[in-house]
């Protein structure tokens, strides 16, 4: 979540001050991993107005460390700008004058929805290690329940980038009749061995931190901050392209530091340490473990002997798939796998490979060509 306040290059306004809401669910939810969530709450935000036909709702799914706070600011925290504020608002690419946009914090996250840091009513203590491992399918199920509770039978569109895009794809498979359009940006049909390997290093950094206490660190009044910092530094490397990193930080030495050894000597080190400290102060380690595992497990083709075309046959939505040339985490080749599988099924799919220098994070950036493509595609949706 990068705060940015400038109007995006494609125009429009911010939704302004927003207020999150909570919704509690009492019907037990059977998770794909075998566990059952007896009850849980989801935190969400909405922007714009649901029309009389209840046909103009757009669901925004979030990526690893983001939340329901997709657009606008909070009255008491005006610098906390929603993570996709440059894309969503009145007159923006996702136009809240036309659409009723919903952002929801995923189950297991740490921004208000029930997660490992929440109190387990059965014990009166934080869930901790006992909180189940959730999957992309589980998130989509909880989002579908939220939609039903809000009176939305069918989404005009489900949109997301990275892990959010994977949820948008899963929506078209889990609930093909409840989603009209799906925007899948900077995503992949499944993680590569290298992607899983990076996740595993981050998890091992967290779980081998002496302050992890097997996941029940809350009771000890500590957090596995060392591990979280390592995880975040590593994440940042994979989110940025080598070129973007070079342009932002080069390999500039900080003044007069050569030869200090372990102290910060290069700008890139200073940046990573700063990001790591910031992250460790607000993100829950158990959430990090669960979200990276959900990423590892996502593989709709797995039940079809690896045949992605067979897996996507049941999708009915119209698709926009977007990739970014410098994204080496989920490269354009991975997006093209999705496009090919959809075309094999003669689905309606638009594909944009955006020449952007920012790496994986490009899906969060203000980029006129990227936003122009999204705007044109959204404009064609007639709710």
Question: Looking at the annotation, which residues are catalytic?
Answer: 162, 327, 360
Residue 156 and residue 99 in contact, taking contact as beta carbons nearer than 8 Å? yes
Among residue numbers 316 through 375, which ones bind its own copies (CB under 8 A)?
Answer: 328
Region of 346 please: left (phi>0), alpha (psi -120 to 50) or beta. Answer: left
CA distances for 148 relative to 3, 20, 56, 75, 142, angstroms: 31, 18, 14, 29, 10
52 binds its own copies (CB under 8 A): no
Residue 134 and residue 107 in contact, taking contact as beta carbons nearer than 8 Å? yes
Smallest distance from the beta carbon of 321 to its own copies, in angstroms?
Answer: 21
Among 268, 295, 311, 321, binds its own copies (CB under 8 A): 268
Q: How many alpha carbons fall within 13 Å on the CB side of residue 226?
A: 8
Residue 45 and residue 16 in contact, taking contact as beta carbons nearer than 8 Å? no
Q: How many CB atoms lie within 10 A of CB 23?
A: 15
For 9, residues 6+ apart whose C-beta sits below 8 A from its C-beta are 366, 367, 368, 371
According to DSSP, residue 133 is labeled P
Residue 267 and residue 252 in contact, taking contact as beta carbons nearer than 8 Å? yes
Nearer to its own copies, 120 or 299 (CB): 299
30 binds its own copies (CB under 8 A): no
74 binds its own copies (CB under 8 A): no
Smallest distance from the beta carbon of 291 to its own copies, in angstroms?
Answer: 12
Pattern 184-223, its own copies, x by CB under 8 A: ------xxxxx-xxx-xx-xxx-xxxx-------------
Smallest distance from the beta carbon of 280 to its own copies, in angstroms?
Answer: 11
Among residue numbers 239 through 258, which ones bind its own copies (CB under 8 A)?
Answer: 240, 242, 245-246, 248-251, 258
Among residue numbers 85 through 144, which ones bind its own copies (CB under 8 A)?
Answer: 133
Q: Which residues bind its own copies (CB under 8 A)?
A: 32-34, 133, 190-194, 196-198, 200-201, 203-205, 207-210, 226, 229-230, 233-234, 236-237, 240, 242, 245-246, 248-251, 258-259, 261-262, 265-266, 268-269, 272-273, 276, 289, 293, 296-297, 299, 328
């Amino acid at each position: 979540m990068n705060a940015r306040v400038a109007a995006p290059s494609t125009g429009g306004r911010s939704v302004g001050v927003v207020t999150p809401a909570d919704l509690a669910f009492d019907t037990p939810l059977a998770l794909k991993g075998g566990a059952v969530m007896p009850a849980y709450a989801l935190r969400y935000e909405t922007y714009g107005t649901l029309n009389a036909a209840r046909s103009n709702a757009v669901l925004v799914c979030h990526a690893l460390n983001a939340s329901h706070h997709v657009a606008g600011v909070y009255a008491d925290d005006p610098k906390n700008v929603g993570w996709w504020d440059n894309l969503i608002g009145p007159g923006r690419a996702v136009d809240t004058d036309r659409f009723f946009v919903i952002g929801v914090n995923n189950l297991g996250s740490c921004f208000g929805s029930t997660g490992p840091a929440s109190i387990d009513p059965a014990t009166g203590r934080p869930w901790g290690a006992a909180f189940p491992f959730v999957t992309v399918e589980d998130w989509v199920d909880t989002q579908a329940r939220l939609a039903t509770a809000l009176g939305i039978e069918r989404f005009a569109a489900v949109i997301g980038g990275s892990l959010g895009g994977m949820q948008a794809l899963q929506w078209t498979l889990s609930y093909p009749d409840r989603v009209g359009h799906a925007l899948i940006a900077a995503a992949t049909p499944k993680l590569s061995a290298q992607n899983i390997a990076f996740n595993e290093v981050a998890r091992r950094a967290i779980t081998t931190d002496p302050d992890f206490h097997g996941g029940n660190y809350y009771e000890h009044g500590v957090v596995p901050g060392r591990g979280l910092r390592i995880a975040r530094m590593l994440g940042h490397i994979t989110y940025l392209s080598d070129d973007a990193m070079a342009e932002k930080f080069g390999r500039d030495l900080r003044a007069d530091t050569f030869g200090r050894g372990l102290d910060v000597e290069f700008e890139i080190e200073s940046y990573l340490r700063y990001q790591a400290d910031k992250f460790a102060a607000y993100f829950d380690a158990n959430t990090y473990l669960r979200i990276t595992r959900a990423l590892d497990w996502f593989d709709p083709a797995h039940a079809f002997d690896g045949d992605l075309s067979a897996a996507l046959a049941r999708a009915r939505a119209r698709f926009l798939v977007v990739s970014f040339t410098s994204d080496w985490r989920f490269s354009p080749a991975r997006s093209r796998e999705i496009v090919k599988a959809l075309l094999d099924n003669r689905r309606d799919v638009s594909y944009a490979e955006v020449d952007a220098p920012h790496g994986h994070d490009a899906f969060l950036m203000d980029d006129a060509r990227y936003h122009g493509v999204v705007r044109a595609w959204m404009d064609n949706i007639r709710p």
